[in-house]
Amino acid sequence: MAKRKAQQDPAVDQPDNDKIKDLEQFMEDSSGALMNTNTGVKINDDQNSLKAGERGASLLEDFILREKITHFDHERIPERVVHARGSGAHGVFKLYEPLPEYTKAQFLNDTSIETPVFVRFSTVAGSRGSTDLARDVRGFAVKFYTQEGNFDLVGNNMPVFFIQDAMKFPDLVHAVKPEPDNEIPQAASAHDTFWDFISVMPESTHMIMWLMSDRAIPRSYRMMEGFGVHTFRLVNAEGKSCFVKFHWKPLLGVHSVAWDEAQNISGKDPDFHRRDLWDAIESGNFPEWELGLQIVPEEDEFKFDFDLLDPTKIIPEELVPVRRVGKLTLNRNPENFFAETEQAAFHIGHVVPGIDFTNDPLLQGRLFSYTDTQLIRLGGPNFQEIPINRPIVPVHNNQRDGFMRQTINRGKVSYGPNSIGDNFPLQAKVSEGGFASYPERIDARKVRARSKSFLDHFSQAKLFFNSQSEPEKNHMIDAFSFELGKVQSNAVRQRMLGILSLVDKRLASEVGFALRLAIPEIPEQPMNRSIPADADPADYEPVVKKPSVAASPALSMATSPKNSIQTRKIAFIAADGVDGKSLNTVKAALENAGAIVEVVAPRQNFILSETDKEVPVNHSLLTAASVFYDGVYVPGGADSVATIAADADAVHFLNEAFKHCKAIAADSAAIPVIEATYFAKQVPAECTDESVLLDGIVVGDKPSTLADRFILALAQHRFWEREKPRKVPA
């Protein structure tokens, strides 16, 4: 275990691995050093440029000024065309059990290896400086630095995609990005061009259900699932192949925030997810996911009522269970955001022997796009030599030169076959680990076409909607009403209502109610704008099927385990005169259960307890907000309670936490504070375990019992039932 060498010392050890050791040779640390130029000349004056006299013009001769300004002028590189905003972290992947029957990939066979990884999470639509809490898909890109080369699993937090063919990707992205005339809105899909496109692309219907669900506003990157989306292939040592879908299952469960909360966080802390990931790793709360595989034998390719090659479809876990085969732990923050996170170049085409592709037409297009985009973004063909992108194994081939070449290739030979260099570097036999593509049989005509097996656009959208809990369904109705409410065109809205009516009548009618628009009796022919010029519309007519599985509990976040408050953040609202026991007993119990407690007070720095002891304050009511926390507690102490009850910001804090359905606790002595809130009437007369599980409100005069009940409530994450009365104008 080695501490990071960052200037600000991290609180915990952040372990080394082979990739970190590799990166260390490129790291620079200025502590104790004298300043010099890029050519190594020591700098004597970094304050003043060279001038003709004290008040004279600057001299062109000033190589120190020129070098500094020139470098600065070139500091920016283009942001990623999608997934521009992201956060990265280092970690390791550890396998639970060897999988030789499916794959020969060494990192999926040798349980003694800890494979180093670098992960980058991202939003998709917004620019680099946009908010983390936009309603959006999240990228979940993992680079495994295996001993057989890099394997990149470039996935998302949703298991399906908007389109079935790479040909439509630029259209999709143009539609969702800010509109081109006025560059509005930033990091939002709630605008005309996006919904116009969706309304004439019925293949996007399933993905739109995910995007309008709370999955699009995660509580934390650490509480999201990840999916490889496409069906990939695994290939074993005998050359036998099977199909696979990759999953990441977060050990902290899958949780989201409320939409009103997301919008609030976007203003108060646009770096909310970035900060959350960084802080968790700095404090030793290393985020963990299990790698899950859904394996389908090759002979079962046509067993399903959807096409495995169609990226708008999941394989319901009821049909093929997810087998958890290993664990990913993120245990180290980057040293430098630009060098590591920004320059990381992921590519779905980075595979190792034992992992291969399928003919999913979206996957196939991606195989071209990722290298192509790095060539412009990172400035040339040598981006693989950038420290974060280099494999941990040495690279030997006959590729040479290009902008910014780092490697100094020795010798005269840069071609093969050759005799001067004894034909080195030699090709590797398959038995030596050489990659050989899976020899899939292909016997086909060259056509531009869409398989009829891709034309069922609604059944899995129905499956997703039917699998949600009531509150989740309501959130989706609200999300559609919000997004389509921001759309100006009634024609687009109406077309969307037509599509929604093919998914669920109640969904369509409630969104129609909010928009005050009738659902069209006969929905416009959905495919009539998105077919080739000479195609027969009948060949593209959507197939309407009943889902083969009626509901899949795994698709609902309500089924996520609710047995832990690990890393949850709780605000204690207090002022001078706080009852030390009431504060400290509950704090100790929550921290013992893995939560993080922060004291929020009217002013910064500290408060004094009843017995005049200093209690450190993490935030004042000015710099904190309820939306940064998972729950709130008000300790006793007569003076503290009187101050807090009379403080409008404190009362607003509680009202807002209630509105966002969070667990709330108060010492019985703090009842006057609760009485000042809008929800005073909803506090149960008698607080029991049952009432707490129902309402999420805990009141008690015994701090230890109160703490136990508060922990029970916090573990539920949210009490969405509270949304029904909607009586809190916070």
Positions that interact with ligand HDE (CB under 6 A): 80-83, 86, 120, 122, 139, 141, 154-156, 161, 166, 169, 229, 311, 344, 346, 362, 365-366, 369-370, 373
Q: Taking a C-beta distance cutoff of 8 angstroms, is the pair 228, 153 a contact? A: yes
Helix (H) or strand (E) holding 649: helix 648-659
Q: Least separation, in Å, of the C-beta of 342 and ligand HDE?
A: 9
**Residue placing its CB nearer to ligand HDE in the complex, 345 or 571:** 345
Q: How far is the CB of 717 from ligand HDE (least distance, A)?
A: 26
Residue matched to tokens 């998709």:
124
DSSP strand pairing (241-250 vs 288-297): antiparallel
- Of 106, 28, 112, 38, nearest to 72 by C-alpha is 38
Cα torsion 551, 202, 136, 157 to 10°: value is 50
Residue nearest to ligand HDE as judged by C-beta position:
139
Structure tokens at 366: 């991606």
Nearer to ligand HDE, 243 or 658 (CB): 243
Tokens at 651, concatenated? 């009362």
What is the spatial distance between Cα 251 and Cα 214, in angstroms, rounded to a whole number? 19
Helix (H, G, I), strand (E, B) or coil at 256: strand
Helix (H), strand (E) at residue 608: strand 606-608
Q: What type of residue sits at position 403?
A: F
Q: What is the DSSP string of 382-445?
A: TGGGSTTTS-SS----S----TT------SS--SSS-STTTTPSPPPPGGGT------------
Distance of closest approach, residue 178 Cβ to ligand HDE, in angstroms = 17
Shortest Cβ 235–ligand HDE spacing (Å): 20
Kindly state the smallest distance separating residue 525's Cβ from ligand HDE, in Å: 26
Closest to ligand HDE by CB, 274 or 493: 274
Whose Cβ is closer to ligand HDE: residue 169's or residue 606's? 169
229/601 with CB nearer ligand HDE = 229
Residues annotated as catalytic are: 83, 156
- Cα–Cα distance, 57 to 43 (Å, whole number): 21
Question: Cβ of residue 165: shortest distance to ligand HDE, in angstroms?
Answer: 8
The order of strands in the sheet holding 631-634 is: 619-620, 596-601, 569-573, 631-634, 663-667, 697-700
Smallest gap from Cβ 582 to ligand HDE, in A, equals 46
Nearer to ligand HDE, 125 or 265 (CB): 125
Answer yes or no: are the C-beta atoms of 605 and 575 closer than 8 Å.
no
d(CA 465, CA 469): 9
Q: How far is the CB of 344 from ligand HDE (least distance, A)?
A: 6
List phi, psi (to 5°) of 598: -125, 135
The candidate with the shortest Cα–Cα distance to 629, out of 558, 703, 571, 707, is 571
| Minimum CB distance to ligand HDE, residue 337 (Å) | 13
Are the beta carbons of 562 and 253 closer than 8 angstroms? yes
Cis peptide, bond prior to residue 425, ω within 30 of zero: yes
- Other CB atoms within 10 A of residue 135 CB: 23
User: Which residue's CB is nearer to ligand HDE, number 375 or number 531?
Assistant: 375
Residue with Cβ nearer ligand HDE (120 or 222): 120
CA 347 vs CA 365, 374, 724: distances in Å: 12, 9, 45
Calpha distance 163→168 (Å, rounded): 7
How many of the other CB atoms lie within 10 Å of CB of 551? 16
Residue pair 600/653 in contact by the 8 Å Cβ criterion = yes
**Helices and strands counted in the chain (H then E):** 18, 18
Nearer of residues 109 and 156 to ligand HDE, judged by Cβ: 156
Name the residue nearer to ligand HDE (CB basis): 382 or 509. Answer: 382
Smallest distance, Å, CB 229 to ligand HDE? 3
Pairing of β 288-297 and β 86-95: unpaired
Beta-strand runs (E) in 333-366: 355-356
Q: Report, in Å, the least distance between residue 103 CB and ligand HDE.
A: 19
CB 550 within 8 A of CB 674: no
Give Cβ neighbours of residue 286 (< 8 Å, ≥ 6 apart). 91, 280, 329, 330, 331
Residue 50 or 367 with smaller CB distance to ligand HDE: 367
Strands (E), 108-194: 114-123, 138-146, 149-156
Q: Which is nearer to ligand HDE, 294 or 501 (CB)?
A: 294
CB nearer to ligand HDE: pick between 104 and 245: 245
- The upper half-sphere exposure of residue 129, i.e. CA atoms within 13 Å in the direction of its Cβ, equals 1
Taking the complex as a whole, the smallest distance from the CB of residue 356 to ligand HDE amounts, in Å, to: 16
- Cα separation, 242 vs 234, in Å, equals 5
Q: How far apart are CB 419 and ligand HDE at their closest, in Å?
A: 40
Q: Is 350 helix (H, G, I), strand (E, B) or coil?
A: coil
- Residue 247: its H or E element: strand 241-250
CA 115 from centre of chain? 21
